[in-house]
Structure 1
Amino acid sequence: MKKTLLCSIFSALVWLPLAVQAVEVSGVNVPEKVAAAEGTLHLNGAGVRKKMMFEVYVASLYVTQKSADAVAVLGSNAPRRMQLTMLRNVEAASLYQALLDGLQANLSAGQLKELAPKVAELEKIFAEIKSVSKGDVIVLDFIPSQGSKVSVRGRAMGVIEGDVFANALLSIWLGRVPVSEDLKKGLLGKG
């Protein structure tokens, strides 16, 4: 009896680390949870951003409470993180333009005009980093009542204030016209 119990406990301990390991997406280990200043965030979903036939980055969405509803995630007043792990070298100007295209696809002309100063801050950040390389990580932390904290290669690049801009930025991937329907499904755990 004792021997069976000890074997069961040992077996459980051996398999326990496997249950909390990272998910692999296109060769990138995506952790199940991350520590943020606002607490622990849990992986909602992940996927690959492809442009034409090229894989550009692995996107991972972290939230406080998992949801398959894009509207709920966008409307949440809880901390969220979008993490982009680059799969290729990209000029920062090209990456910024892709983000701008995503904003333009999901916002009205009036919303874009209202957010123009925030978009200019984002452009300034990407102009400063110049380029990203394969393996580099871009982190967009959405902090309620503060805004979007942008970090590149582990270096904080600044905070763009405002919840409205944070939600607009997240709409690039989860909005009505996402950069990729497949990526949106992956980020919502449906992929």
Structure 2
Amino acid sequence: MKRFLSGSLLAAALLTTQPALSAELAGTHIDDRASVAGNELVLNGVGLRTRFMLKVYTIGLYLPKRSESPVSAITGAGAKRIQIITLRDLSAEDFANALIDGVRKNHGDADLANLQGRLDEFRTTLIAIRAAPNGTQVRIDWLPASGTRLSIGNETRGKDIPGEDFFRALLRIWIGDKPVDEDLKNALLGKR
């Protein structure tokens, strides 16, 4: 009986010291798990995007399983999610242009030519929202059966954009060879 009680107490202690199932950063809440197309994903990392010392947005990267490798995170199979929460009022055009610029920095001319029509479609869909006020939730999901889906709040915007190469191009904005911010890249890869 004594052995059973000490085992039970140890199990209870371990259960109460598990990490929280969410992340708090810059006043935003990002869940530790997400469900995308019926697939359970884990929060790989969360970070803060700043520009000229101003907080712009928090971002979380969700993958089927955690990875510190940018190559594995980008090319690994399965559904994925990029979740962004704005921390200031942004114009949709500025936001879209910054994302497109991040794609351009991480791709050569041939790759960009292949992506261009889909980048234009993505940009047009983003610009149609006009503004992303402080607290706007932007989700960019990779759904293997249909493509890249953009959601603002809980509303899907535009149609799914085909091709895993397109979602991978978006991921490279933050975790590619030329990320928008090296510290942010490390945070999204769970390295800090």
Q: Judging changes above 3 Å, is the alpha-carbon distance between structure 1 residues 11 and 84 closer, same or farther for their aligned structure 2 residues?
A: same
Q: Which residue matches 1:165?
A: 166
Q: Which residue matches 2:41?
A: 41
Q: Is 1:174 paired with 2:175? A: yes
Instruction: Write the distance in 2 (CA, Å) between the matches of 1:48 and 1:124.
Output: 26
Q: How many angstroms does 1:14 deviate by? A: 8.5
Identity %: 31
Q: Judging changes above 3 Å, is the alpha-carbon distance between structure 1 residues 14 and 147 closer, same or farther for their aligned structure 2 residues?
A: closer
Q: Deviations over 1:105-162 (max 9, x none)?
A: 0011111111111011111111211111111100000122532110011110131111
Tell me the C-alpha RMSD between the 2 structures: 2.2
Q: Which residue matches 1:53?
A: 53
**Contact 1:67 / 1:73 at 8 angstroms: preserved in 2?**
yes
**Contact 2:93 / 2:130 at 8 angstroms: preserved in 1?**
yes
Q: How many angstroms does 1:10 deviate by? A: 11
Structure 2 residue matching 1:189: 3-state secondary structure: coil
Structure 1 residues 1-191: aligned runs within 5 Å:
8=9, 12=13, 15=16, 19-157=19-157, 158-191=159-192
Q: Point out where structure 2 has 5 or more consecutive residues left out of the alignment.
A: none
1:30 is aligned with what amino acid? I
Q: Point out where structure 1 has 5 or more consecutive residues left out of the alignment.
A: none
2:106 is aligned with what amino acid? N
Instruction: Write the distance in 1 (CA, Å) between the matches of 2:166 and 2:67.
Output: 21
- Runs of 4+ with deviation above 2 angstroms: 7-16, 18-21
Q: Deviations over 1:57-88 (max 9, x none)?
A: 00100000110000111111211100001111
Q: How many angstroms does 1:15 deviate by? A: 2.8
1:21 is aligned with what amino acid? L
**Contact 1:141 / 1:150 at 8 angstroms: preserved in 2?**
yes
Structure 1 residue matching 2:67: 3-state secondary structure: coil
Instruction: Write the distance in 1 (CA, Å) between the matches of 2:29 and 2:99.
Output: 24
Q: Give the structure-2-normalised TM-score.
A: 0.90
1:107 is aligned with what amino acid? H
Instruction: Write the distance in 2 (CA, Å) between the matches of 1:127 and 1:94.
Output: 9
1:104 is aligned with what amino acid? R
Instruction: Write the distance in 2 (CA, Å) between the matches of 1:10 and 1:75.
Output: 38
Q: How many angstroms does 1:35 deviate by? A: 1.8
Q: Give the structure-1-normalised TM-score.
A: 0.90
How many residue pairs were aligned?
190
